[in-house]
Chain A
Amino acid sequence: MRRKEVYDPRRATRVVAVATARRAGRQGILWGLVFGATIAASASSYYPTWPTAASRAKLALSFEGNAAWAALFGPLRRLDTVAGYTAYKSGMFTIILGAIWGLLVATRVLRGEEDVGRWELFLSGQTTRARAALQAAIGLGVGIVALWVPTAFLTAAAGGSSKVNIGLGASLFFVTAVVAAATMFMAIGMLVGQLAATRHDANLIGAGALAASYLIRMAADSDSGLNWLRWASPLGWIEELRPLTGSRPFAFLPIVALVAVLLLASVRVARRRDLGASAFASRDAPRPRTLLLGGQAGLTVRLTRPTVVAWIVALAATGLVFGLVAQAAGSALRGARGLERAIERLGGTGIGAATYLGFVFVVAAGLMAIAVAGQIAAIRGEEAAGHLDNLLVRPVPRWRWLAVRLGVGLGLVVVASALSGLAAWVGATSQQAGIGLGDLLKAGLNVVPPAVFVLGIGGLAFGLWPRGAIGVVYGLVVWSFLVEIIAAAFDSNHWLRDTSPLLHIAPVPAADPNWTAAAWLVGLGVLAAVLGIAAFGRRDLVGE
């Protein structure tokens, strides 16, 4: 029996807008700070790294027109200016991260909440579903504004400083371009959230769209004859905006059109489909596959397989791309004074393909840390959703369940890093970079220790503080990234560096692995995991 004021559907759907705005807004601000810091750090590192006009000219000469680089980061323009360098250094990174965030937050709001049945509380009748989708869109819009404001503030502040000097208009145009990518993929997330059967499926479809649009623009940027292909990719439109290198606002037209069409479509679909159901007919009664369902370990493999395989493929592909561009990139690095110093400090010598690879494998370590954090989130998700109850009311020891889950995370890390090393070798060898397979396998496996550390800390957090575990482990990852950015900007032996597990690894293959640091990271990670397993055995199971 509802009371009358609760029944008012308009009031009820407003709850959806407010809840969405709160979630998206909070996350938007956080990511806005990360983006702003990234852009500011890139801009302010320009003159310290390339102090002379000659070094800047050389930088521009070696990178502009480098097809491999353009394939990765988009076309590079005006690298002899701080604006062009900032666009190259922080553009693709923030654009991709923004797109991923937009996708995830949209499917979370439009699908995740619904999957757990929360929306049914608010909705009744046919029209309210469409209205709820619209309200959710408004809430997501608040998230976009929340992303824009801190990014714009930090970018404008850095651009306005006398050491950088980028015009305010150009800065804001750049920030808007970055946020436009997030907006487009948010709208894509809204629509696929309505179409797919579950949030998980929606994320996969959205990720596919993102990958396709990245690959199309990759092809477009690697050969000048294919430049027109850029117009076939949403990420290509962002490139056509040419932020910081001669703004071209007309490229906003397809962006705005796409967002409008997707919004309209998702509201229409929302009106027509059943709550909790998919607009696509999905196979609800597949042939039973019981091969893996003989026990808890097999179940874990079955449940985590899609994510684990996706990460392994992604990391191997990353390694391959690193390998492919290593030779060209290595020779271009000569003249970057800051880099040389940084390499010496980390125990490396010289400049070349190996140096380049040594540096970029830190990126692989970061990706690995994100993958591991995702495993911790999945572990906690099993408990929060109550799925774990079904196992633990049967003769399954708690320690074994958690050990197997963490073991899957470890397996993911080891396989993915070995494959990324192997793929890097394949790529590098095809370009005659002359780096041995052993060295590159070592480079790949070099990222295992920090990932084990993150996994262990995640296991400990899960054992002690289940509701906070996801926050702790993602917090650790974000913190490591921030420290990396800050450390890069100040180019110093700052104590902050020591708090990031990612920065304790040596730039293999440019240097030998730092065995001591690796042993510490692995040791602490294993210890934390063991303590986490013990703590998990002694606590209540807690739901959401």
Chain B
Amino acid sequence: MRCVAVAEGPPDSYTRRKGRTREISVATAIRTEELSKTFGQTKALVSLNLEVPEGEVIGYLGPNGAGKTTTIRLLLGLIRATSGRAEIFGIDAQADPVEAHRHVAYVPGEATLWPSLTGAETLHLLGRVQGQVDTAYRDLLIERFEFDPSKRVRALSRGNRQKLILIAGLMSRSDLLLLDEPTSGLDPLMERTFRECVKESRERGQTVFLSSHILAEVEAVCDRVAILRAGHLVEVGTLAEMRHLSALQVEADLDGAMPDLSAVPGVSAVEVDGSRLRCQVAGSVEPLVSALAAAGVRHLVSREPSLEELFLAHYGADGSEEGTPDAA
């Protein structure tokens, strides 16, 4: 079941949410409150407030070292929170991880399996330990990922190890899938198979938390996207919303003299090349359009930023704050 009420609303409401009603938290797959983790001097995660309603597929993005893996390991109770709270289906994931894990399947980006076990043995073991396996689905996954379960883990290539741990995670049909760069090392064909699996999971009502560096993958399967930078959540929302809220790229060919745009509200990153002007504009385009009209426009193109531009702007150390409505 999709809980629309939580998914809607401006992004900054996700970073400042307290005291929600009980009703909603029942339908909430993941909920963190001021969740923080500090390693020695490093603030890996700072006051994360995030809610993921049941049935949603959310992309979790951020540059290397942003704190994505840290978040997932906190949700799993593998590391202890410095402060704050993490809940999975209303269960305190730090205090009662065993109960929480009954609803969760986890796929790490790097498979660290027992080298002496074969693929089949590993799947058997992990299925038993998990306590639930859809065996028909497991066999289907093995077929779809073209995985050979007879070999020892030691003898598998990196991509094949990743397939194994992916199958081990998906085969339980858990309510919540925590995926941390699950497709690292997979070839494009397998990557596509993975996307199909995620889509099926969503159709079955499973919740998916997908941390990834592959933007096309995130764009293809995710309902919403959260962006983390240096431990801070800087953006949450649907891709459409995020596009809408970020700066437009404007290109214009001018007839007359170049106008002074420094006073025009919302305009930034102005580049002039002869009679050609390139800039970004946040908020309303009206002031810019009137300024350009006064100077005489021959040709004007505006477009929304590509996904990649959107994320590069957020990932970069600077130059991103203009595009970020909530300075988190």
Binding site for B on A (CB under 8 A): 197-198, 284-286, 288-290, 293-296, 299, 303, 385-387, 389-397, 538-541
- A303–B115 CA distance with the chains assembled, in angstroms: 11
Q: For window 82-96 of chain B, which residues contact chain A by CB distance below 8 Å? A: none
The answer to whether B79 and A390 touch across the interface, beta carbons within 8 angstroms, is: no
User: Residue B114 at the A interface, CB < 8 A?
Assistant: yes
The answer to whether A198 and B154 touch across the interface, beta carbons within 8 angstroms, is: yes
Q: For window 60-111 of chain B, which residues contact chain A by CB distance below 8 Å? A: 73, 76-80, 97-99, 101-102, 104, 106, 108, 110
The answer to whether A285 and B80 touch across the interface, beta carbons within 8 angstroms, is: no
Q: Which residues of A contact B120 (CB under 8 A)?
A: 288, 290
Contacts A284-B152, A538-B80 given: A387-B125 contact, CB under 8 Å?
A: no
- A29–B214 CA distance with the chains assembled, in angstroms: 50
**Nearest A residue to B113, CB-CB:** A390
Q: Which residues of B contact A397 (CB under 8 A)?
A: 98
Contacts A293-B121, A540-B80 given: A389-B112 contact, CB under 8 Å?
A: yes
The answer to whether A541 and B79 touch across the interface, beta carbons within 8 angstroms, is: yes
Min C-beta distance of A37 to chain B, whole Å: 38
Q: Which residues of B contact A394 (CB under 8 A)?
A: 101, 126, 129-131
- A208–B21 CA distance with the chains assembled, in angstroms: 67
Q: Which residues of B contact A286 (CB under 8 A)?
A: 118, 152
**Nearest B residue to A400, CB-CB:** B98
Cross-chain contact of B150 among A288, A389, A390, A396 (Cβ < 8 A): A288
* Chain A to chain B contacts (Cβ below 8 Å), 25 pairs: A198-B154, A284-B155, A286-B118, A288-B118, A288-B124, A289-B121, A386-B112, A387-B112, A389-B78, A389-B112, A390-B126, A390-B168, A391-B129, A393-B76, A394-B130, A394-B131, A395-B98, A395-B129, A395-B130, A395-B131, A396-B98, A538-B80, A540-B80, A541-B78, A541-B79
- A289–B168 CA distance with the chains assembled, in angstroms: 18
The answer to whether A396 and B124 touch across the interface, beta carbons within 8 angstroms, is: no
**Nearest B residue to A294, CB-CB:** B128
Interface size classification for chain B: 35 or more
- A476–B165 CA distance with the chains assembled, in angstroms: 39
**Nearest A residue to B156, CB-CB:** A284
**Nearest A residue to B129, CB-CB:** A394
User: Residue B151 at the A interface, CB < 8 A?
Assistant: yes
The answer to whether B112 and A390 touch across the interface, beta carbons within 8 angstroms, is: yes
The answer to whether A288 and B121 touch across the interface, beta carbons within 8 angstroms, is: yes
Q: Which residues of A contact B79 (CB under 8 A)?
A: 540-541
- A395–B80 CA distance with the chains assembled, in angstroms: 17
- A208–B79 CA distance with the chains assembled, in angstroms: 41
- A290–B119 CA distance with the chains assembled, in angstroms: 11
- A541–B73 CA distance with the chains assembled, in angstroms: 9
- A197–B115 CA distance with the chains assembled, in angstroms: 11
- A285–B131 CA distance with the chains assembled, in angstroms: 26
- A296–B78 CA distance with the chains assembled, in angstroms: 17
Min C-beta distance of A83 to chain B, whole Å: 48
Cross-chain contact of B78 among A197, A295, A393 (Cβ < 8 A): A393
- A360–B141 CA distance with the chains assembled, in angstroms: 59
Contacts A285-B151, A290-B121, A393-B101 given: A385-B126 contact, CB under 8 Å?
A: no
- A295–B129 CA distance with the chains assembled, in angstroms: 5
- A299–B127 CA distance with the chains assembled, in angstroms: 13
Q: Which residues of B contact A390 (CB under 8 A)?
A: 112-113, 126, 165, 168
Q: Which residues of A contact B104 (CB under 8 A)?
A: 393
Min C-beta distance of A382 to chain B, whole Å: 9
- A540–B73 CA distance with the chains assembled, in angstroms: 9
**Nearest A residue to B124, CB-CB:** A290
Min C-beta distance of A538 to chain B, whole Å: 7
- A391–B114 CA distance with the chains assembled, in angstroms: 11
- A296–B128 CA distance with the chains assembled, in angstroms: 9
Q: Which residues of B contact A299 (CB under 8 A)?
A: 114, 125
The answer to whether B101 and A395 touch across the interface, beta carbons within 8 angstroms, is: yes
**Nearest A residue to B77, CB-CB:** A392
- A394–B174 CA distance with the chains assembled, in angstroms: 11
Min C-beta distance of A272 to chain B, whole Å: 19
Q: Which residues of B contact A541 (CB under 8 A)?
A: 73, 78-79
The answer to whether B80 and A539 touch across the interface, beta carbons within 8 angstroms, is: yes
Min C-beta distance of B136 to chain A, whole Å: 18
Q: Which residues of A contact B124 (CB under 8 A)?
A: 288, 290, 293
Q: For window 115-159 of chain B, which residues contact chain A by CB distance below 8 Å? A: 115-118, 120-121, 124-126, 128-131, 150-152, 154-155
Q: Which residues of A contact B113 (CB under 8 A)?
A: 387, 390
